Structure 1
């Protein structure tokens, strides 16, 4: 059985807590994240088998009501490096080319990170989720310039249609001091 990740991003904290409760009651899932984010949004992430996660997200969405949902996803097989980047545990030894994907939602940033990591041989550096950024999220990654270009393009295209993509950036050779300023 595959492990899946499901996420609901909500406009307000009370509906977020309600959704989290409904998600946990609906299926055999583990809560990965359940917390408020800027600017007063709430995010709930669960993990488990694909069917359980799908059921959990459906139940959370129904409890919270569609008008309170900012974004959502169910990823049946998330790339392992996304977990480390989400928790700030990626070991950054050196930045080669630097890629950045900026989004309007937490869910879209995680999707973009997953797609980027699967698209090319890159290292995810960080997936910053809306804290102190007005609800935006940012994915940073590194690798050789060709791989970074491919990964950023794929990650951006994956979320562009939903209107959550703000901008992308690839620096082929970032200044050495930028590394310590970012991480």
Structure 2
């Protein structure tokens, strides 16, 4: 019978499958949803980490959570911190080299994404730009969204609320179209209420898009054919009955004989 030192996990096939559960954990927290999205974008593009998602706890506090090798996570967190500082919205950051298993079971730290991460495929860049506009107050965000849609060829893909009256709309389209839409949206938001933050991400990674609300909106659905419309009631024309003669009363046919 094999014995192991306390705290040491043997490298069996089952534990090899669970190696991601013991990879490093990185968190960066900001005070704005557009800023945390652009912070996550900077983290993903700085190193080979995987974005687990965003945690929103109210009052505008948002946290980006990444996983990966310790060195990669440290680079990503440092890049995220520097970006959030430039935006003036950094709250805190954290790197945990080997999170305890019970921590991952209770908190939303993404160990359930193990199978996806083990494929070790690097996320691809999107061909469309991503634009986020944040206001304080719902009327301002509705007015800004309407103005953006009317001003440029962009698509509204979703919105996010993070507490403290902060609302964010998310649009997609070509870089020039997104930039034009945001310019109009900023003016309209300031006219109606309070503009808080604006972010443009020119080439977002798939990891980032999947973490945003309504990311599945872009999956093209097959068009279903229109059903054939049939009349509810079909009126049959009334048929005329023909009375047949009684066969017993008909004269017997005469047989002609040829001489």
Task: Tell me which interval the TM-score lies in, with the shorter structure as reference length.
Answer: 0.3 to 0.5
Greater relative contact order (CA < 8 Å, ≥ 6 in sequence) = 1
Higher strand share: 1
TM-score normalised by L of structure 2: 0.33
TM-score normalised by L of structure 1: 0.46
